[in-house]
Chains A and B, each alone.
Chain A
Amino acid sequence: MKTLSYLSCVAVLLTTFNSMAEPGSEHSGKASKHSALAVSHGTVGSAQVASAAVAVPLVVVGSVALSAGAASVEAGEKLSAVSSSSASKVTHTQPVELEVTEITITVDRSPAEAMKGNQ
């Protein structure tokens, strides 16, 4: 009976950790996710689903210099109206709305999954 009580306590305690846990990497579900999205998008109109190969951060012109290939420079809004580095205050301009694609992007499938999809 003592052993049973002990094991009961441990089982209850461990379920506590399950609820704190967070589903993480989703690699093995990629292919089914991509398919499910493609099917669902096919029923709701012209929205597309696409796999992404690479993402490069976009930075504004005149911002921190980054090595070639590390980021893409985008002509666009300025961070502030201040042109002199000696200014003591920075005036924040109204944030400029950014463009976002309508395409639903998901991580690309593994080569094995991609091969299955191509058969």
Chain B
Amino acid sequence: MKKLIMTFLLIITASAANAGSNQVSEVKFKPEQIAKFAKDVEKYAASKGARAFIISRVGQPKSKLPKGIDFTHTAIAVYSEITLSDGEKVKGYAIHNLYQSEKNSGKSSLITDYPVDFFWGAHELKAGIIIPTPELQQKIIEVIASGKNKSLHNPKYSLVANPFNYRYQNCTEHTLNVINAAIYQTTDMKQLKANTKAYFEPQRVHVSRFKLSLGSMFADGITTKDHSGKVKTASFGTIAKYLTKYQLATPAYVFEA
């Protein structure tokens, strides 16, 4: 009986350590498959003239995702002049992400990577793409190029962060903050959150609050402290609905290999 209890304790500890955005440890596709898919996504966006777009990926099997959530990580891709390590300059997309810290899953940082990095550990070669209107693209680029996106970052991470306040933040909420900062031309977080509350409809997280609260006892990076009532968070799908509702983007497109 003692051995059984110890085994369970080990399982719980291991699960708690992994309950959050972790370093990619398993690559499911061949490098050339990932590279081709990543380049195809770039070319698709480029064919649409997208200078900035919202991009998402699938990090887990669909069967394991809560109802209503189709993608597990969302970021903003920006058409850029990229200087390579040998000094050559080329054109392509750089992706601006909020990632959980490897060493502390309760913290996050803003990291720029590139399409092949973005899709390296994906569970499916599938991308969610939202292309904002050209005017909104330009404003999003300005927010990022000026560094204002950094002031919209809250490093206190929660997987199910409430987008209506700024106590915790996840990748999708940060993406939404950048979009709204572009729309409203402000980085005043109180104003942005008031506008978010007025116009944005988040995704209900179909996991009971009890389970989430219990999980927060064992794992950093998950909390319900920023929620009252039902737990709701920003998602790729809700950002797509938000932008299309206000005619600020074409309907979301799912690009598959």
Contact = CB atoms under 8 A, between A and B. Distances in A.
Interface of A: 3-4, 7-8, 10-11, 13-29, 33, 36-37, 39-41, 43-44, 47, 49-60, 63-64, 66-67, 70-72, 74, 77, 79-80, 90, 92, 95-108
Contacts of B64: 19-20
B250 to A, nearest CB: 10
A36 B21 CA distance: 23
Interface residues of B, number: 95
Nearest to B141: A57
A52 B84 contact: yes
Contacts of A71: 141, 145
Interface centre among A55, A64, A101 (most CB of B within 10 A): A55
B142 A15 contact: no
B168 interface: no
A26 B35 CA distance: 16
A53 B85 contact: yes
B23 A29 contact: yes
A37 B35 contact: yes
A26 B159 contact: no
B256 interface: no
B116 A4 contact: no
Given A41-B32, A104-B39, 7 more contacts: A3-B5, A4-B8, A10-B214, A21-B221, A22-B100, A24-B21, A24-B99
Interface stretch (B72-80, B173-181, B193-201, B237-245): B72-80
A95 B48 contact: yes
Closest 5 CB pairs of A and B: A95-B49, A24-B21, A19-B64, A55-B94, A14-B15
B146 interface: yes
Interface in B106-135: 108-109, 111-117, 120-121, 133-135
A66 B146 contact: yes
Contacts of B30: 40
Contacts of B218: 10, 14
Q: For chain B, what secondary structure do more than half of its interface residues adopt (helix, strand, loop), or is it mixed? A: mixed
A24 B81 contact: no
Contact of A22 (B48, B51, B109, B171): B171
B102 A27 contact: yes
10 contacts: A7-B8, A20-B65, A21-B20, A25-B109, A29-B24, A40-B31, A40-B35, A51-B85, A64-B138, A100-B93
Contact of A17 (B15, B113, B139): B15
A28 B22 CA distance: 11
B154 interface: no
Contacts of B88: 50
A14 B116 contact: no
Interface in B204-257: 207, 211, 214-215, 218-219, 221-222
Contacts of A41: 31-32, 35
Contact of A50 (B31, B45, B84): B84
B85 A70 contact: no
Interface in B57-109: 59-61, 64-66, 69, 72-73, 78-86, 88, 90-94, 99-102, 108-109
A58 B84 contact: no
A79 to B, nearest CB: 5
A67 B35 contact: no
B120 to A, nearest CB: 6
A4 B4 CA distance: 8
A63 B138 contact: yes
Contacts of A37: 31, 35, 116
